[in-house]
Chains A and B, each alone.
Chain A
Amino acid sequence: MKPSTLLKNCLSRLALNPPSAEFLARVEYSAQEKFDIAIGAVRAVIVGAIGMQDALAETLNTQDTEITFAPGETGDVRHAYRAVDLSSRRVAASGLNDLLNQLNEDVKK
Protein backbone atom coordinates (compact mmCIF):
# COMPACT_ATOMS: atom_id res chain seq x y z
CA MET A 1 0.00 0.00 0.00
CA LYS A 2 1.29 3.43 -0.90
CA PRO A 3 2.05 5.75 2.02
CA SER A 4 -0.47 8.27 0.72
CA THR A 5 -3.21 5.58 0.63
CA LEU A 6 -2.23 4.39 4.10
CA LEU A 7 -2.51 7.95 5.43
CA LYS A 8 -5.87 8.42 3.71
CA ASN A 9 -7.17 5.15 5.25
CA CYS A 10 -5.96 6.17 8.70
CA LEU A 11 -7.55 9.59 8.42
CA SER A 12 -10.88 8.20 7.27
CA ARG A 13 -10.79 5.64 10.14
CA LEU A 14 -10.07 8.41 12.63
CA ALA A 15 -12.96 10.40 11.25
CA LEU A 16 -15.29 7.42 11.75
CA ASN A 17 -13.87 6.44 15.16
CA PRO A 18 -12.50 9.54 16.86
CA PRO A 19 -10.42 8.75 19.92
CA SER A 20 -12.76 8.48 22.92
CA ALA A 21 -10.20 9.45 25.53
CA GLU A 22 -6.95 11.35 25.81
CA PHE A 23 -3.70 9.46 26.07
CA LEU A 24 -1.89 10.06 29.34
CA ALA A 25 1.79 10.90 29.31
CA ARG A 26 4.32 11.63 32.03
CA VAL A 27 5.16 15.33 32.23
CA GLU A 28 8.10 16.68 34.21
CA TYR A 29 7.48 19.46 36.72
CA SER A 30 8.25 22.89 35.31
CA ALA A 31 10.82 25.11 37.04
CA GLN A 32 7.95 27.18 38.47
CA GLU A 33 6.22 24.06 39.85
CA LYS A 34 9.49 22.88 41.45
CA PHE A 35 9.90 26.30 43.03
CA ASP A 36 6.31 26.25 44.35
CA ILE A 37 6.83 22.78 45.87
CA ALA A 38 10.08 23.85 47.57
CA ILE A 39 8.61 27.07 48.97
CA GLY A 40 5.45 25.22 50.01
CA ALA A 41 7.58 22.66 51.86
CA VAL A 42 9.54 25.30 53.77
CA ARG A 43 6.33 27.14 54.61
CA ALA A 44 4.57 23.95 55.77
CA VAL A 45 7.46 22.73 57.92
CA ILE A 46 8.23 26.05 59.59
CA VAL A 47 5.28 28.44 59.42
CA GLY A 48 2.66 25.68 59.30
CA ALA A 49 4.25 23.73 62.14
CA ILE A 50 4.12 26.71 64.50
CA GLY A 51 0.48 27.24 63.52
CA MET A 52 -0.31 23.59 64.26
CA GLN A 53 1.53 23.63 67.60
CA ASP A 54 -0.30 26.80 68.64
CA ALA A 55 -3.70 25.47 67.55
CA LEU A 56 -3.19 22.23 69.46
CA ALA A 57 -2.06 24.06 72.62
CA GLU A 58 -5.07 26.38 72.33
CA THR A 59 -7.44 23.42 72.01
CA LEU A 60 -5.90 21.81 75.08
CA ASN A 61 -6.07 25.21 76.79
CA THR A 62 -2.47 25.05 77.91
CA GLN A 63 0.64 27.17 77.53
CA ASP A 64 3.05 25.56 79.94
CA THR A 65 1.99 21.90 79.94
CA GLU A 66 4.14 19.56 77.90
CA ILE A 67 2.38 18.10 74.86
CA THR A 68 4.02 14.75 74.23
CA PHE A 69 4.06 12.40 71.25
CA ALA A 70 4.83 8.86 72.34
CA PRO A 71 5.13 5.65 70.29
CA GLY A 72 2.05 3.54 69.70
CA GLU A 73 2.46 0.04 68.30
CA THR A 74 5.76 0.79 66.54
CA GLY A 75 8.60 3.28 66.80
CA ASP A 76 10.69 4.47 69.70
CA VAL A 77 11.02 8.20 69.09
CA ARG A 78 9.33 10.45 71.60
CA HIS A 79 9.07 14.20 71.22
CA ALA A 80 7.40 17.01 73.10
CA TYR A 81 6.89 20.75 73.19
CA ARG A 82 5.39 23.46 75.38
CA ALA A 83 3.57 26.38 73.76
CA VAL A 84 5.27 28.81 76.13
CA ASP A 85 8.64 27.89 74.56
CA LEU A 86 7.51 28.77 71.03
CA SER A 87 7.62 32.58 71.32
CA SER A 88 11.03 33.20 69.72
CA ARG A 89 10.33 30.71 66.91
CA ARG A 90 6.90 32.28 66.37
CA VAL A 91 8.53 35.65 65.63
CA ALA A 92 11.16 34.07 63.37
CA ALA A 93 8.54 32.03 61.49
CA SER A 94 6.46 35.13 60.89
CA GLY A 95 9.55 36.96 59.56
CA LEU A 96 10.38 34.00 57.36
CA ASN A 97 6.84 33.95 56.00
CA ASP A 98 7.21 37.61 54.93
CA LEU A 99 10.54 36.87 53.25
CA LEU A 100 9.07 33.89 51.39
CA ASN A 101 6.22 36.11 50.17
CA GLN A 102 8.78 38.61 48.85
CA LEU A 103 10.72 35.82 47.13
CA ASN A 104 7.53 34.55 45.55
CA GLU A 105 6.72 38.04 44.25
CA ASP A 106 10.22 38.47 42.79
CA VAL A 107 10.19 35.09 41.06
CA LYS A 108 6.77 35.69 39.51
CA LYS A 109 7.61 39.20 38.22
Chain B
Amino acid sequence: MTIRPGLLASIQAILPTAISPNLTTGSQGDDLYEAYIWSVVIAAAKNKGGAIEFKDVFGNIASTTFVFRTSPGELWWQSQSYCHAEIEFPSCPILEAHVGIYVAGRSQVRHECDVAVLFKSEADVCRARRVLPRASKVILSVEAKYYVNSTPGLSLGRAFLGLRDEIQRTNRFFIATSHSGSVAKLLAKHTRDFDLQFTPTNPHNVDVIRGAFEKVFDAFMAQYA
Protein backbone atom coordinates (compact mmCIF):
# COMPACT_ATOMS: atom_id res chain seq x y z
CA MET B 1 0.00 0.00 0.00
CA THR B 2 1.42 3.38 -1.04
CA ILE B 3 -0.62 6.51 -0.56
CA ARG B 4 0.17 9.07 -3.26
CA PRO B 5 2.10 12.09 -1.96
CA GLY B 6 0.04 15.03 -0.76
CA LEU B 7 -3.27 13.13 -0.76
CA LEU B 8 -3.81 13.20 3.00
CA ALA B 9 -2.84 16.89 3.15
CA SER B 10 -5.34 17.66 0.37
CA ILE B 11 -8.10 15.86 2.28
CA GLN B 12 -7.24 17.78 5.44
CA ALA B 13 -7.28 21.06 3.54
CA ILE B 14 -10.66 20.52 1.88
CA LEU B 15 -12.51 19.18 4.94
CA PRO B 16 -13.28 22.52 6.67
CA THR B 17 -14.86 23.97 3.52
CA ALA B 18 -16.89 20.85 2.79
CA ILE B 19 -18.41 20.17 6.19
CA SER B 20 -21.78 21.67 7.03
CA PRO B 21 -21.70 23.91 10.12
CA ASN B 22 -25.26 22.73 10.79
CA LEU B 23 -24.35 19.07 10.92
CA THR B 24 -21.75 19.01 13.62
CA THR B 25 -23.61 16.59 15.86
CA GLY B 26 -25.10 13.20 15.16
CA SER B 27 -28.60 14.29 16.13
CA GLN B 28 -28.66 17.01 13.50
CA GLY B 29 -27.63 14.51 10.86
CA ASP B 30 -30.41 12.29 12.15
CA ASP B 31 -32.98 15.08 11.66
CA LEU B 32 -31.87 15.61 8.09
CA TYR B 33 -31.82 11.87 7.40
CA GLU B 34 -35.47 11.47 8.43
CA ALA B 35 -36.51 14.44 6.29
CA TYR B 36 -34.50 13.03 3.40
CA ILE B 37 -36.30 9.67 3.61
CA TRP B 38 -39.58 11.60 3.74
CA SER B 39 -38.52 13.32 0.49
CA VAL B 40 -37.90 9.91 -1.11
CA VAL B 41 -41.42 8.84 -0.06
CA ILE B 42 -42.79 12.01 -1.70
CA ALA B 43 -40.77 11.28 -4.86
CA ALA B 44 -42.25 7.76 -4.96
CA ALA B 45 -45.77 9.17 -4.65
CA LYS B 46 -45.05 11.67 -7.45
CA ASN B 47 -43.70 8.89 -9.68
CA LYS B 48 -47.01 7.09 -9.21
CA GLY B 49 -49.01 10.12 -10.30
CA GLY B 50 -49.75 11.58 -6.88
CA ALA B 51 -50.43 15.31 -6.57
CA ILE B 52 -48.43 16.79 -3.71
CA GLU B 53 -49.21 19.81 -1.57
CA PHE B 54 -47.18 20.95 1.44
CA LYS B 55 -49.17 22.16 4.42
CA ASP B 56 -48.45 23.17 7.98
CA VAL B 57 -50.21 21.99 11.12
CA PHE B 58 -52.65 24.93 10.88
CA GLY B 59 -53.79 23.79 7.43
CA ASN B 60 -52.02 26.62 5.57
CA ILE B 61 -50.08 25.94 2.40
CA ALA B 62 -46.38 25.86 3.34
CA SER B 63 -44.51 27.97 0.83
CA THR B 64 -42.41 30.47 2.75
CA THR B 65 -41.16 28.23 5.53
CA PHE B 66 -40.74 24.51 6.02
CA VAL B 67 -40.38 23.17 9.55
CA PHE B 68 -39.50 19.58 10.45
CA ARG B 69 -39.29 18.01 13.89
CA THR B 70 -35.93 17.28 15.51
CA SER B 71 -37.59 14.95 18.02
CA PRO B 72 -40.90 13.11 17.82
CA GLY B 73 -44.12 14.91 18.63
CA GLU B 74 -47.87 14.61 18.42
CA LEU B 75 -49.23 15.16 14.94
CA TRP B 76 -51.51 17.95 16.20
CA TRP B 77 -48.94 19.98 18.15
CA GLN B 78 -48.94 23.64 17.17
CA SER B 79 -45.88 24.91 19.06
CA GLN B 80 -44.20 25.27 15.64
CA SER B 81 -45.71 25.31 12.18
CA TYR B 82 -44.49 21.78 11.46
CA CYS B 83 -45.13 20.86 7.86
CA HIS B 84 -46.31 17.69 6.15
CA ALA B 85 -47.20 16.66 2.62
CA GLU B 86 -50.68 15.91 1.35
CA ILE B 87 -50.70 13.20 -1.30
CA GLU B 88 -53.67 12.81 -3.60
CA PHE B 89 -54.06 9.95 -6.06
CA PRO B 90 -57.04 9.98 -8.45
CA SER B 91 -60.19 8.41 -6.93
CA CYS B 92 -58.38 7.60 -3.66
CA PRO B 93 -58.67 8.99 -0.14
CA ILE B 94 -56.10 11.73 0.49
CA LEU B 95 -52.96 10.73 2.40
CA GLU B 96 -50.54 12.73 4.54
CA ALA B 97 -46.79 12.13 4.94
CA HIS B 98 -45.25 13.25 8.24
CA VAL B 99 -41.81 13.22 9.87
CA GLY B 100 -41.35 12.20 13.53
CA ILE B 101 -44.86 11.63 14.85
CA TYR B 102 -46.30 9.40 17.55
CA VAL B 103 -48.75 6.67 16.62
CA ALA B 104 -50.91 4.46 18.87
CA GLY B 105 -49.91 0.81 18.67
CA ARG B 106 -52.15 -2.22 19.06
CA SER B 107 -51.53 -2.22 22.80
CA GLN B 108 -52.58 1.45 23.01
CA VAL B 109 -49.01 2.49 23.76
CA ARG B 110 -47.58 5.34 21.73
CA HIS B 111 -44.74 4.63 19.33
CA GLU B 112 -42.57 6.92 17.28
CA CYS B 113 -42.64 6.70 13.50
CA ASP B 114 -39.71 8.54 11.93
CA VAL B 115 -41.65 8.80 8.69
CA ALA B 116 -45.34 7.94 8.44
CA VAL B 117 -47.93 8.04 5.66
CA LEU B 118 -51.49 7.89 6.91
CA PHE B 119 -55.03 8.75 5.84
CA LYS B 120 -55.78 12.49 5.92
CA SER B 121 -59.17 11.71 7.44
CA GLU B 122 -57.38 10.09 10.40
CA ALA B 123 -54.98 13.03 10.71
CA ASP B 124 -57.94 15.47 10.65
CA VAL B 125 -59.59 13.60 13.54
CA CYS B 126 -56.30 13.64 15.47
CA ARG B 127 -55.87 17.41 14.98
CA ALA B 128 -59.46 18.10 15.97
CA ARG B 129 -59.57 15.83 19.02
CA ARG B 130 -55.88 15.94 19.95
CA VAL B 131 -55.49 12.19 19.89
CA LEU B 132 -52.92 9.81 18.43
CA PRO B 133 -53.39 8.32 14.98
CA ARG B 134 -54.15 4.60 15.00
CA ALA B 135 -51.47 2.35 13.55
CA SER B 136 -54.07 0.66 11.34
CA LYS B 137 -54.48 3.96 9.49
CA VAL B 138 -50.76 4.23 8.74
CA ILE B 139 -50.16 2.75 5.28
CA LEU B 140 -46.37 3.12 5.34
CA SER B 141 -43.83 3.86 8.04
CA VAL B 142 -40.07 4.05 8.28
CA GLU B 143 -37.71 3.51 11.18
CA ALA B 144 -34.60 5.56 10.29
CA LYS B 145 -31.14 5.03 11.80
CA TYR B 146 -28.45 7.56 10.99
CA TYR B 147 -25.25 5.84 12.13
CA VAL B 148 -22.05 7.25 10.71
CA ASN B 149 -19.24 6.32 13.09
CA SER B 150 -20.47 2.87 14.04
CA THR B 151 -22.82 0.20 12.76
CA PRO B 152 -26.36 -0.26 14.12
CA GLY B 153 -26.46 -2.69 17.05
CA LEU B 154 -28.51 -5.87 17.00
CA SER B 155 -30.85 -4.41 19.63
CA LEU B 156 -32.13 -1.92 17.04
CA GLY B 157 -33.09 -4.76 14.73
CA ARG B 158 -34.84 -6.58 17.58
CA ALA B 159 -36.68 -3.41 18.61
CA PHE B 160 -37.85 -2.88 15.04
CA LEU B 161 -39.24 -6.42 14.81
CA GLY B 162 -41.11 -5.82 18.07
CA LEU B 163 -42.43 -2.54 16.72
CA ARG B 164 -43.74 -4.27 13.59
CA ASP B 165 -45.84 -6.50 15.80
CA GLU B 166 -47.25 -3.44 17.49
CA ILE B 167 -48.02 -1.31 14.45
CA GLN B 168 -48.74 -3.93 11.78
CA ARG B 169 -46.21 -5.93 9.86
CA THR B 170 -46.64 -4.84 6.28
CA ASN B 171 -45.02 -1.77 4.75
CA ARG B 172 -42.87 -1.03 7.81
CA PHE B 173 -39.34 -0.19 6.66
CA PHE B 174 -36.04 -0.22 8.54
CA ILE B 175 -33.57 2.12 6.85
CA ALA B 176 -30.04 2.87 8.03
CA THR B 177 -26.89 4.54 6.77
CA SER B 178 -24.34 1.92 7.68
CA HIS B 179 -24.30 -1.80 7.09
CA SER B 180 -24.36 -4.27 9.98
CA GLY B 181 -24.03 -7.95 9.13
CA SER B 182 -25.85 -9.16 12.22
CA VAL B 183 -28.79 -6.73 11.81
CA ALA B 184 -29.07 -7.65 8.12
CA LYS B 185 -29.09 -11.35 9.00
CA LEU B 186 -31.75 -10.85 11.67
CA LEU B 187 -34.04 -8.69 9.54
CA ALA B 188 -33.63 -10.87 6.44
CA LYS B 189 -35.28 -13.74 8.37
CA HIS B 190 -38.40 -11.66 8.95
CA THR B 191 -38.81 -9.01 6.25
CA ARG B 192 -37.58 -7.67 2.93
CA ASP B 193 -38.41 -4.09 3.81
CA PHE B 194 -35.03 -2.90 4.98
CA ASP B 195 -31.87 -1.28 3.68
CA LEU B 196 -28.72 -0.70 5.68
CA GLN B 197 -26.79 1.42 3.19
CA PHE B 198 -29.38 4.00 2.31
CA THR B 199 -27.67 7.33 1.55
CA PRO B 200 -27.45 9.57 -1.52
CA THR B 201 -23.89 8.25 -1.94
CA ASN B 202 -25.44 4.84 -2.76
CA PRO B 203 -27.99 5.86 -5.42
CA HIS B 204 -28.84 2.27 -6.34
CA ASN B 205 -29.98 1.53 -2.78
CA VAL B 206 -32.12 4.67 -2.83
CA ASP B 207 -33.66 3.62 -6.16
CA VAL B 208 -34.54 0.17 -4.80
CA ILE B 209 -36.26 1.54 -1.71
CA ARG B 210 -38.05 4.23 -3.72
CA GLY B 211 -39.35 1.38 -5.87
CA ALA B 212 -40.56 -0.42 -2.74
CA PHE B 213 -42.39 2.75 -1.63
CA GLU B 214 -43.94 2.97 -5.10
CA LYS B 215 -45.26 -0.58 -4.70
CA VAL B 216 -46.93 0.44 -1.43
CA PHE B 217 -48.67 3.29 -3.26
CA ASP B 218 -49.58 0.93 -6.12
CA ALA B 219 -51.24 -1.44 -3.67
CA PHE B 220 -53.03 1.47 -1.99
CA MET B 221 -54.43 2.74 -5.32
CA ALA B 222 -55.46 -0.76 -6.38
CA GLN B 223 -57.85 -0.89 -3.43
CA TYR B 224 -59.85 2.03 -4.84
CA ALA B 225 -59.63 1.22 -8.56
Interface residues of A (CB under 8 A from B): 37-38, 40-56, 58-60, 62, 65-75, 77-81, 88-89, 92-93, 95-97, 99-100, 102-103, 106-109
Contact = CB atoms under 8 A, between A and B. Distances in A.
A65 B100 CA distance: 21
Interface of A is mostly: helix
Interface of B: 1-4, 7-8, 10-11, 14-15, 17-20, 22-23, 25, 27-29, 31-33, 35-36, 38-40, 42-43, 54, 63-74, 77, 80, 82, 100, 148-151, 177-178, 199-201
Nearest to B54: A60
A108 B1 CA distance: 7
A78 B70 contact: yes
Contacts of A73: 71-74
Given A45-B23, A102-B7, A109-B1, A77 B66 contact: no
Contacts of A60: 39, 54, 66
Contacts of A37: 149-151, 178
Contact of A43 (B3, B39, B74, B201): B201
Contact of B35 (A69, A74, A95): A69
Nearest to A67: B66
Given A73-B73, A79-B22, 7 more contacts: A41-B178, A44-B29, A47-B200, A52-B199, A59-B43, A71-B70, A78-B70
Given A44-B201, A73-B72, A59 B18 contact: no
Given A44-B178, A69-B28, A69-B31, A95 B18 contact: yes
Contacts of A40: 148, 178
Per CB-CB distance, the 8 closest pairs between chain A and chain B, nearest first, are A51-B200, A72-B73, A92-B18, A52-B36, A72-B69, A59-B39, A72-B71, A92-B17
Nearest to B40: A55
Nearest to A109: B1
Contacts of A93: 18
A103 B22 CA distance: 26
A109 B54 CA distance: 49
Given A69-B69, A71-B71, A103-B7, A56 B36 contact: yes
A107 B18 CA distance: 23
B18 A89 contact: yes
Contact of A65 (B3, B18, B66): B66
B20 A50 contact: yes
